[in-house]
Amino acid sequence: MHRGDLTDEQWAKLEPLMPRRARTGRPPKSHRRMLNGMLWILRTGAPWRDLPERYGKWNSVAKRFYRWQAAGVLENVLSELQRQADVDGRLDWVRHYVDSSHVRAHQHAAGAKGGTPMPRVWEGAEAA
């Protein structure tokens, strides 16, 4: 196991939530190995082609990620983990939320001035 990979305890919680493997065809690579590869990409921000070999072929990991994303697997896993934490009383909905530090603006919004002018806070205070 490498630094940053899922621990046995973490995997024990995730394994039951993973999709069942097909009984026909070539056996797929381990879900744990593939998920560790996906998490490595997420952690480093590196392109898929730079994925270390220990996680398998980069294109196999990428294909599984995009398949899982399209099928809603990752969203279902997150929802179930949140549900379990909520049932156990380990989730405070007032404090736990998802924040995005990257919000894409519309192409016409780039660099343009406009919008409603905001009143200066001190203008009202000076009048009072």
Write out pLDDT tens, residues 65-86: 999 999 999 999 999 998 999 8
Checking if the pLDDT of 102 tops 90, the result is no
Query: What pLDDT shows up at residue 52?
Result: 95
State how far the Cα of 65 lies from the Cα of 38, in Å rounded to an integer.
7
Q: Residue 12 above 60 pLDDT?
A: yes
Using 50, 70 and 90 to split pLDDT, how confident is the model at 119? low
In this predicted structure, the answer to whether residue 115 has a pLDDT above a threshold of 80 is no
Q: Could you tell me the pTM of the whole model?
A: 0.68
pLDDT of residue 94: 77
CB 12, CB 33: distance < 8 Å: no
Question: Mean per-residue pLDDT for 15-26?
Answer: 79
Which of residues 23 and 38 earns the better pLDDT score? 38
Residues in the chain: 128
Q: Record the tokens describing residue 56, joined without a space.
A: 């398998």
pLDDT in tens, 88-97: 988 887 775 6
How far apart, in whole angstroms, are the C-alpha atoms of residue 82 and residue 89?
A: 10
Distance CA 99, CA 56 (A): 31
- Determine the pLDDT at residue 104: 65
